[in-house]
Amino acid sequence: MIYVHEVVTLNALQAGASQFEASAGKLKNKYWWKNMKMNIIIGCVVMVLVIAIG
């Protein structure tokens, strides 16, 4: 038999898990874009160096 306290606890746990999942997704996207910007900058610097040397 499930008691009211257990149901409330399970609902709170589910709400916390949903909020964590949303926050984790936003953080993942933020750092993906940050990493991509750095890769583009490094690629541009390498291209400039290759053109300058060649």
Query: pLDDT digits over 1-54, tens only?
Result: 667 778 788 889 999 999 999 999 999 999 999 999 999 999 999 999 999 998
Q: What is the largest CA-CA distance in the chain?
A: 77
Q: Using CA atoms, how far apart are residues 43 and 37, in angstroms rounded to an integer?
A: 10
Whole-model pTM: value is 0.61
In the prediction, which pLDDT does 2 show?
Answer: 64
> Of 49, 47, 29, 25, which Cα lies nearest the Cα of 37?
29
Helices (H), the chain: 4-53
Residue 34 in tokens: 């940050």
In the prediction, which pLDDT does 34 show?
Answer: 97
